[in-house]
Amino acid sequence: MLGRLNHVAIAVPDLAAASAVYRDTLGATLTEPQALPEHGVTVVFINTGNTKIELLEPLGQGSPIAAFLEKNPSGGMHHICYEVDDILAARDRLKAAGARVLGDGNPKIGAHGKPVLFLHPKDFLGTLVELEQV
C-alpha cells in the first residue's frame, strides 16, 4: 500500500523569509507560492531530486497551521506525505485497521492536483501523515 515519500512539510510563520533561507542559503529552486484555501495554507515546494520539501504558512483565520505555529512559533516539521496507488482502498484498509482519517474521511484535492487524506498523528507515532494518490 505505502509508496514512495512524496514530501516533508515544514510549517513556517513567514513563507517569504523561509523561502529566502532555502533559496539564498541552501541554493534551492522553489516553486511560486500557491494558495490552497480549502486546506487553509499557502505553500512553496522545493524539489530535492529524490523528494520535495513543502513550506507552508497559514492562510485565513481557520488555518490548522495557525494552531501548530501557536505551539511552535518558530515553525517545524508539520507532516510527512506518502504516495498510494488507490487512496480510497488505502483509506478503507487503514480504517479497518483502526486508523483515524481526519476530516470527513473523503479525499480533498491537494497542492499537486491529486486526491489527499490526512491520518491522525496519535495513530502514527505522533506524526501527521498525508496520503496522496499517484
CATH number at residue 54: 3.10.180.10
Q: Compute, in degrees rounded to 10, the torsion defined by CA atoms 40, 74, 80, 91.
A: -40
Q: Name the residue range of residue 99's domain.
A: 5-133
Q: What pTM did the predictor assign?
A: 0.94
What pLDDT score does 1 carry?
85
Regions of the chain where pLDDT drops below 50: none
Active-site position among 54, 57, 83, 130:
130
What pLDDT score does 24 carry?
97
What whole-number distance in Å separates Cα of residue 95 and Cα of residue 83?
Answer: 17
What pLDDT score does 134 carry?
95
What pLDDT score does 60 carry?
87
Which candidate, 66, 111, 67, 118, places its Cα nearest to that of 91? 118
Indicate the number of domains in the chain: 1
Tell me if 65 sits within 8 A of 41, measured CB to CB.
Answer: yes
Q: Side by side, which strands form the sheet with 5-11?
A: 34-36, 41-47, 52-58, 5-11, 76-84, 128-133, 115-119, 108-109
Does the active-site annotation cover 54?
no
